[in-house]
Amino acid sequence: MKLFFSARYSWLDSLFERSYTMHLGEVHLPSLDLYMVNEPALVHRVLIEEVHHFPKSALLDAALKPLLGDSIFTTNGAQWERQRRMMEPSFEQARLKSVFASMSAAAHVMQMRLQQLLDRANVDVEQEMTLVTADIIFRTILSTSLNEGDAGQIFNAFKQFQRHVPKLISHRIFGIPSVFSPLLTKHRAGIFAQQIRSLLGQAIAPRFAAFHAGMPDPHQDILSELLKARDQATGQSFSSDELLDQVTMLFLAGHETSASALSWALYLLANSTEVQARCYDEVIAMQVNDQLTYATIRKLQLVRNVVRETLRLYPPVGFFARQSQVTTMMRDKVVRRDAAIVVAPWLIHRHRTLWDKPDEFNPDRFACNDARESIKNAYLPFGLGPRVCIGASFALQEATLILATLIKHFRFEALANVQPKPVGRLTIRSDNGIQLRVCRR
């Protein structure tokens, strides 16, 4: 019962110290057998070698469908394969270079906005990072900037939606009878999901109608690519509902995960003044004519490693839920069909036997040979295998640019007696925000 009430608020609260040393954990609940897979060989088996035996879990589907519909985040099998093939061209390397100007414009707006906050005693950087990453996604997907009012509505709606999802999932995991199901929680989650989908739908609908009416599309953004996408087997394009599902997924996954990573990166840098100073020196040395160019960002090794180390310590998606379609053996345990399989980057990235000083912030580990095996076998912030995050390269470019822009213009200081509390829902966020002092360089 204690496990139920802790997990329904934040799944991090259900962990214990042994979670960070075990190779394969198991929990048998009234309606479900759950296995926590930490051993690298088993992780590769689930996510790469036998991926068709371990599809996305149905546990998440019911909770996320009101928001993400039938997007590549929730679908399986042939449906997922079709969607993935149609979407991949939108995230090729050439596209990353073409969207850099839009990313830079949003980063500049963020810089100007933070200039107005310098006199405050503290700034909640979570809100600021959510605003800039949402703006970037709007610019790169829809070729339009995001105003603060709409951004605030999305931020609050998704924050509330995240609060309800663990409750919905935990009732299913623990086999709570339907008469006790949280109908009010489900209803409220649906309201917040609809707020987000409605805002995005208003931007997509006229573009969809114009494209299918044969009108020329002047935009060169991700939505334009998705409108033109065709299934190679049937020649069919995305329907309006499918398009909204995919754009909603890209918008939320694209801005929410990056905002989480950037917020934690600033917190880590504020508590490591030496690394922050080194990052500043690197940015100043690499910029061209006082500008951060596409070529500059690709040369910022330390800043990029700060991003990578942040993704290790605070992976935005802390767990991947799968479902076994076969009865099989894992180590010495019989894993039965329909069992839940959880691969948790949060645990694997902090595993006591897989990393040296796993709880320590050390971006230099990504530049030394000693950590090569750990990085190869136990680092998966974007997942692994066929279902690796489609926007991983996009996210790394975005995070490096934003972090470099912030470091160039501002210095971040930790506040005494103000510690963020990580909570695990759909993403790893701080329950009480991340408050920092932002100072002028």
Whole-number pLDDT of residue 2: 41
Question: 386's torsion region: left (phi>0), alpha (psi -120 to 50) or beta?
Answer: alpha
Whole-number pLDDT of residue 153: 79
Q: Give the residues across from 56 on adjacent strands.
A: 322
- Report residue 8 CA to chain centroid gap: 20
Which one, of 127, 245, 120, lies nearest residue 193 by Cα? 245
Q: What's the length of the chain?
A: 441
Helix axes 183-212, 240-270, angle to 10 degrees: 110
pLDDT averaged over consecutive 10-residue blocks of the chain (441 residues)?
A: 45 82 89 91 97 87 80 90 91 81 95 88 91 92 82 78 66 52 60 85 92 91 92 90 93 89 98 98 94 94 98 94 95 94 96 96 94 95 95 94 97 92 86 92 85
CA distances from 301 to 6, 211, 279, 379, 400 (A): 39, 41, 9, 18, 10
Answer yes or no: are the C-beta atoms of 270 and 412 closer than 8 Å. Answer: yes
Whole-number pLDDT of residue 78: 92
d(CA 79, CA 242): 11
CATH 3.30.499.10 fits 2-440, yes or no: no
d(CA 437, CA 441): 12
**Predicted model pTM:** 0.91
Tokens 């076969």 -> residue: 326
Q: Evaluate the CA torsion angle 270, 273, 278, 282 in order and state its sign.
A: positive
Instruction: Annotate 33-69 with b (16+ C-beta within 10 A) or e (fewer).
Output: bbbbbbbbebbbbbbeeebebbbbbebbbebbebbbb
d(CA 254, CA 257): 6
Which one, of 399, 406, 403, 410, lies nearest residue 120 by Cα? 410
Whole-number pLDDT of residue 199: 85
- HSE-up (13 A, CA, CB side) for residue 288: 9
